[in-house]
Every structure is written in structure tokens, then in C-alpha cells.
Chains A and B, each alone.
Chain A
Amino acid sequence: MNIPNDRFYTETHEWVMVSGDVATVGITDHAQRELSDIVFIELPKVGERVSQKSVVGVIESVKAASDLYAPVSGEVLEINSQLADQPSLINSNPYGKGWLYKLRIINPQELNDLKDADAYRELLKNKEL
């Protein structure tokens, strides 16, 4: 399972890459595999304020629909507009071209709630048992 060390993770299988006060958010390789072929995505709007752990969007595969949660509170700066036409980018490149949206972090304290790669790997391992 691909779990890069350069970012943080949530229990709901989002990843967060922090650069200054900007967080780029996506879903993990594990999440895209579980969903299988992704065919539709609904993302938050640019300018929208989202709070940590709230539902900010929906991701649909041919198998299931799944809520997207905000890993931290913030203001949506940008969304990946390529995904509307090519949601399968999330399957093919979940940590790169398949990123979902960028947030301006409001409360950096919340980053402490996130997991590092090792802790996320552990979470998946326990899930399999």
C-alpha cells in the first residue's frame, strides 16, 4: 500500500499536505482502492468555510457513494477542476493529479489531530485484522 511520508492522514482516509498555512487535501490510495472506479465528485466551493470533520463533499464510484470530511478547519482556496471531467484521476494518481482541494488553515492546532504515515499504516493494519 502506497503511503507517502511527506503528509498527514485522517481516520476517514483523507491525506493532507501542509505548506505554510495552506493544506492540500486528497484521499488515500487505500480509499480509492476500496471505492474502485470513481465516476463523480462533489467538492466544496471556493471561498467556503469548512470546519474540521464536517462533510464537505461526496465521492461516488460505480460501487458506492462516500462522504468527504474536512481534515482541518479552513477556507477553501482552490479546487481541482480537472476532476469534474476526469474523476478517474483519483484512482490513477491519488497523491498527485487526483488531489481534491486546498484550504487556508484557520487553526494550526488541529494539525495535531492528524496521523503521520506510520500511524496511518498502523490504522490500516488493524483494520485488516
Chain B
Amino acid sequence: MGTYSGWWMPIYYTSAIQEHQAVRENSGIFDLCHMGQFFVEGPKAMEWLNGILTNDLSLLKDSESQYHLILSDSGGIIDDLILYRIGSSSYLLVVNACASEKDYSLLHGYLPFGDVSLIDNRRKWGCIAIQGPTSWNVLKEVFSLDTIPKHTIKKIIFDKEFLYIAATGYTGEEGAELFFPGKIARLLWDRLLEGGKPYGLLPCGLASRNILRLEASLPLNGVDLREDKTPWEAGLSKAVSLSKPYSFPGKAALVLLKDSFQTLLVAFVACEETSPQPKTGSPIFFKGQKCGEVTSGIWSPSLGRTIGMGYVHKSYAIIGNKIEIEIRNKLYPFEIRKKPLYKRPTIHR
């Protein structure tokens, strides 16, 4: 167990590597009650959110989800989030625990606006994720439902309570995330764990989640995403719409910086089978010259090598480039690779 953004969280239950393997081969269940959940409701909800978040909400249909950022005025990343359109006047925003306070006060600062209401469900609503190739077998068994399309959300009833199931995740696998009133968290967890037994479902902690998301090259806010980096540098232009007819915090800065930013977030893999794990801040070199810094590093069971992410100067951020990373005063060779480092080859259902 350990503290994470003020939450007392399981780092691992048995072994992070075993838990990682369960998610890649069978399935894993994650307690994500630390994630912040906000509901935004009202006839002008879309318009209001379009004036704060980076992506274009008008492209969304009911039950679809969209990746967004919350930026500072200078275009730096405060948080990344998944937004679900539950209905034309009802949205669910799922944000990172570490930035949820900042997110809330920023959102709150844009009120009042028409009859838009911002409902803070932090510490009231919980989240559990089931991820891995057998996750839908588990979910079908427990909720008697059909697979829902990727990236969509659906309202279901469990134990006389409404909850939401969304085909999203943070592991590079098939699966779902459940959003529900906190009072049924325990029952839901137990029921899923029990129903998942025949499908090799294992409870998974934060350590395995970190390995899984790094293999899938999904950046983590507070580590890979920071307020001194713009979406251009983080490679998240897909989350930004400059063409939508709304202004949002950071938009003007992003327009100015579109061609002049200096660094790019890259993924890398160790050239040698045995290599130490780089840490946040480990310097990166290209032909003896310092060209960047590591943000995340971990040993990857799927690749059998140490992997990571970091910001390097744009001119060196080329796939196939050999870089060196300094770890405890020694240089180790790594290679910049295409993201994601891990991608499920075929989809089984």
C-alpha cells in the first residue's frame, strides 16, 4: 500500500508483474476510486465545456467519449481527461486525482453560465476498471449485458442503482470502466472478483497499471504531462481543436506556439536486454550532447526490456534514433520507437 494524491492505494496485491500478465493474458480489476468525477448538466453544457476544454464537443454523439485537456493560459497542461456525452445536456468528466482540485476550481471559475450545473462527485462516486482480453466475459457474466462499442458509455442498473459502464481504459487492452455511487463500491468489487474467477481475473494495483500504460505509451499527468509542456510537445494535438468557434484557456498561446515549440515526448526502449530503469529527470544524450530528460521509466514484461518516455529536443525526436540515458553516472543505450510500444496484435472477443 502507498499514498497517491492523498489516497491510500494498493501498489500491488501479489506482484506487479503477475498482475500485468493477468491483464495482458486474461483480465485485471483496478480500484480507481481516486479518479475525480464531475457531472456537467444543463441545456448549455456543451457550449460551456467547449469554452473551457480543448477538443470539439460538437463532434460527439450521445454515449460517445472524447479525450480532452485542461490548459493554463500559457498553453501548459493542467490535466488530461475523458469526457463522456451521456445526453445532449449531460456530460461526465473523469479527471486525474492529482489535478482534480485545480480542475474543479478552474471549472467553477467559469460559473455561472446559463443554467449549467457542475456536480462535484469526488469522494462520492467510485470507479472500477476491468481490463484485458477476458474482461467482457466477466462483465457479461456479472451484468448480463452485451459488449458495448469501444469508447462509448452506457447506463445500466445494478443492485437497484444506476451506474455507467464505458468501454474505455488505460492499459492498451479491451475492457471497461464503471462509474457508480460510492455506496455500492464494495458489493460491485466483490461481485466482479467472484464472477471473474473462471476468467483469470486478478486484482491489480498501481504498479502494474503504471507498467501497462507505459507499454501502451499513454502519458500520465503530473509525470509525462506537466504545466510547463504544451499539447504540441506532449504529442496530443488530437485532443485540441483550434478550429472550433470557441475560445478556451491556452488557445491563443497554442496558436502562437504551434510551430515554435522545442521538445517532443518520445517513447524509447533499451538496446540491451539488461538495463536499469531510468527515473524522472534522468538526462538523455544524443551523440554525447544532452538533448532531453526522462519523464517515466520501467521494466516492461511484454517487451522484456526497460522502456520509458521523455522529452527530447525536436530535432532528435526521430524514430530509430539511438540515444543514451544517464543512470547513476553511467550511460545506457536506448532507441526511440514509434508509439505505442505495445499494441494488442489481434482482438479476441
Interface residues of A (CB under 8 A from B): 36-37, 39-40, 42, 58, 60, 62-63, 65, 84-85, 88, 91
CB of B96 within 8 Å of the partner chain: no
User: Within residues 1 to 25 of chain B, which ones have a CB less than 8 A from any CB in chain A?
Assistant: 11-12, 15-17
User: Within residues 207 to 228 of chain B, which ones have a CB less than 8 A from any CB in chain A?
Assistant: 207, 211
**Contact present for A62 and B298 (CB under 8 Å):** yes
Which residue among A37, A40, A88 has the maximum number of chain B CB atoms within 10 Å of its CB?
A37
Q: What 10 A-B pairs have minimum CB-CB distances, sorted nearest first?
A: A39-B299, A37-B17, A62-B16, A40-B276, A84-B274, A37-B15, A37-B16, A62-B207, A60-B277, A60-B276
- Please indicate the chain B residues that have their CB under 8 angstroms from the CB of A42 in the complex: 276, 328
**Smallest CB-CB separation from A87: which chain B residue?**
B274
- Please indicate the chain A residues that have their CB under 8 angstroms from the CB of B15 in the complex: 36-37, 91
- Please indicate the chain A residues that have their CB under 8 angstroms from the CB of B16 in the complex: 36-37, 62-63
How many residues from B make CB contacts under 8 Å with A?
17
**Smallest CB-CB separation from B12: which chain A residue?**
A36
A-B residue pair count with CB separations less than 8 angstroms: 42
Interface residues of B (CB under 8 A from A): 11-12, 15-17, 207, 211, 273-277, 279, 298-299, 306, 328
Out of A36, A65, A85, A91, which one reaches B277, CB within 8 Å?
A: A65
**Contact present for A58 and B276 (CB under 8 Å):** yes
| Listed A/B pairs (7) with beta-carbon separation below 8 Å | A37-B15, A37-B16, A37-B17, A40-B275, A60-B276, A65-B277, A88-B17
Distance in Å from the Cβ of A35 to the closest Cβ of chain B? 11
Out of A37, A62, A85, A91, which one reaches B274, CB within 8 Å?
A: A85
**Contact present for A58 and B275 (CB under 8 Å):** no
Question: For the complex, what is the distance from the CA of A114 to the CA of B275, rounded to whole Å?
Answer: 32
Out of A36, A37, A58, A85, which one reaches B328, CB within 8 Å?
A: A58
**Contact present for B328 and A40 (CB under 8 Å):** no
With A36-B16, A40-B299, A40-B306 in contact, do A63 and B275 touch (Cβ < 8 Å)? no
Question: For the complex, what is the distance from the CA of A58 to the CA of B299, rounded to whole Å?
Answer: 15
**Smallest CB-CB separation from B206: which chain A residue?**
A63
**Smallest CB-CB separation from B14: which chain A residue?**
A36
- Please indicate the chain B residues that have their CB under 8 angstroms from the CB of A58 in the complex: 276, 328
Question: For the complex, what is the distance from the CA of A46 to the CA of B258, rounded to whole Å?
Answer: 54
- Please indicate the chain A residues that have their CB under 8 angstroms from the CB of B277 in the complex: 39-40, 60, 65
Since A40-B275, A62-B298, A65-B276 are in contact, a sample of 19 more A-B pairs with Cβ atoms closer than 8 Å, ordered by chain A residue number, is A36-B11, A36-B12, A36-B15, A36-B207, A37-B15, A37-B17, A39-B299, A39-B306, A40-B276, A40-B306, A58-B328, A60-B276, A60-B277, A62-B17, A62-B299, A63-B11, A63-B207, A65-B277, A84-B274
Which residue among A39, A65, A85, A91 has the maximum number of chain B CB atoms within 10 Å of its CB?
A39
- Please indicate the chain A residues that have their CB under 8 angstroms from the CB of B12 in the complex: 36, 63
- Please indicate the chain B residues that have their CB under 8 angstroms from the CB of A84 in the complex: 274
Distance in Å from the Cβ of A90 to the closest Cβ of chain B? 13
Distance in Å from the Cβ of B309 to the closest Cβ of chain A? 16
Question: For the complex, what is the distance from the CA of A36 to the CA of B13, rounded to whole Å?
Answer: 10
**Contact present for A62 and B276 (CB under 8 Å):** no
- Please indicate the chain A residues that have their CB under 8 angstroms from the CB of B274 in the complex: 40, 84-85
Question: For the complex, what is the distance from the CA of A63 to the CA of B299, rounded to whole Å?
Answer: 10
- Please indicate the chain B residues that have their CB under 8 angstroms from the CB of A91 in the complex: 15
Distance in Å from the Cβ of A1 to the closest Cβ of chain B? 17
